[in-house]
């Protein structure tokens, strides 16, 4: 019987169109716990006197901007996950013509920084910040250097990080693109997430391709629905496909 890495390689080589979905497990393999994980959420509430569910909202940003940005800068902008081998492996796959699109729920642009090109940041990016009034864009350095609330130099109002806060609707264009990409995929890779993901399950239903592959560390009851399951961090799996050795051959 073929081992799982060989099975995965065959699936990808035979695929006309492959899409990868990247979930919060990608943060964990980079050493960062997701905000809503019980232990981290408890520490944040102890530190700020408010829970993550309250602070990570547009209402909190609008009504208590100083507290919002204290939390946002300390817990998000200064807590960047470390780089892992996953993003590099995905970039190799993309260059080799074996990966057509990445859909990422994380906001750290890990994939783009590794050289991936066709990425949908479903929940936005911490590197994009905009004045709600004049639409001027500001870099992450400007946000971090602000003493309290980062204000637009023109309008003198708080700058808005272009990320999806709790309770907000995902950008409609991103939703449409995500649905379109998944609906045309032959192979769907779920990396650091599961088929039961609150975010992804509404999109996975549009998949009508050949294989669903799940690669994640924690067991989940939906794993049985996958055509191939590998219980490990993606960073320990994807580099074994060795697409970096043939980059450009099939692009």
pLDDT single digits (tens) 185-209: 999 999 999 999 999 999 999 999 9
- Give residue 246's pLDDT band: very low, low, confident or very high (50, 70, 90): low
pLDDT of residue 167: 84
pLDDT of residue 64: 96
C-alpha–C-alpha distance, residues 34 and 169, integer Å:
20
Look at strands 124-130 and 187-191 and give their pairing.
unpaired
pLDDT of residue 165: 93
Higher per-residue pLDDT: 16 or 245? 16
Mean pLDDT of the chain: 94
Whether 250 has a pLDDT exceeding 60, the answer reads no
pLDDT of residue 40: 87
**Predicted TM-score (pTM) of this structure:** 0.92
Positive or negative, the CA dihedral 171, 175, 181, 186 is positive
Q: Which of 30-39, 129-138, 185-194 has the lowest mean pLDDT?
A: 30-39
Whether 251 has a pLDDT exceeding 60, the answer reads no
Q: Note the pLDDT tens digit of each residue in 50-68.
A: 999 999 999 999 999 999 9
Whether 1 has a pLDDT exceeding 80, the answer reads no
Mean pLDDT value across residues 221-247: 92
pLDDT of residue 2: 57
Positive or negative, the CA dihedral 211, 181, 20, 214 is negative
Q: Which domains does the chain have, with CATH numbers?
A: 4-30+83-123+169-246 (3.40.50.1220), 38-79+130-163 (no CATH)
Whether 143 has a pLDDT exceeding 50, the answer reads yes
pLDDT of residue 36: 77
Q: Note the pLDDT tens digit of each residue in 95-132.
A: 999 999 999 999 999 999 999 999 999 999 999 999 99
3-state secondary structure of 121: strand
> For residues 24 and 199, is the Cβ–Cβ distance under 8 A?
no
Q: What is the DSSP letter of 208?
A: -
Mean pLDDT value across residues 15-40: 91
C-alpha–C-alpha distance, residues 230 and 124, integer Å:
28
Q: Note the pLDDT tens digit of each residue in 43-54.
A: 999 999 999 999
pLDDT of residue 249: 45
């Amino acid at each position: 019987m073929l081992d799982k890495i060989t099975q995965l390689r065959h699936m990808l080589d035979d695929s006309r169109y492959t899409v990868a979905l990247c979930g919060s497990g990608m943060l964990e393999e980079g050493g960062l716990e997701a905000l809503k994980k019980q232990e981290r959420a408890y520490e944040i509430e102890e530190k700020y006197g408010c829970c993550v569910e309250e602070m990570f909202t547009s209402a909190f940003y609008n009504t208590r901007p100083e507290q919002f940005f204290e939390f946002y800068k300390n817990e998000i902008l200064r807590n960047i996950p470390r780089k892992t081998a996953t993003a590099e492996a995905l970039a190799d796959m993309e260059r080799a013509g074996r990966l057509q699109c990445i859909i990422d729920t994380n906001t750290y642009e890990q994939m783009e920084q590794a050289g991936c090109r066709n990425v949908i940041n479903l929940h936005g990016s911490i590197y994009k910040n905009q004045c709600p009034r004049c639409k001027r864009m500001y870099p992450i350095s400007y946000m971090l250097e602000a003493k309290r609330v980062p204000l637009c130099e023109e309008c003198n109002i708080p700058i808005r990080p272009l990320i999806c806060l709790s309770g907000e609707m995902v950008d409609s264009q991103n939703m449409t693109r995500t649905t379109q990409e998944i609906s045309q995929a032959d192979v769907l890779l779920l990396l650091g997430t599961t088929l039961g993901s609150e975010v992804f399950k509404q999109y996975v239903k549009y998949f009508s391709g050949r294989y669903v592959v799940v690669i994640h560390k924690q067991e989940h009851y939906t794993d049985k629905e996958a055509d191939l399951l590998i219980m490990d961090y993606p960073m320990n799996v994807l580099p074994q496909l060795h697409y970096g050795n043939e980059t450009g051959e099939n692009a």
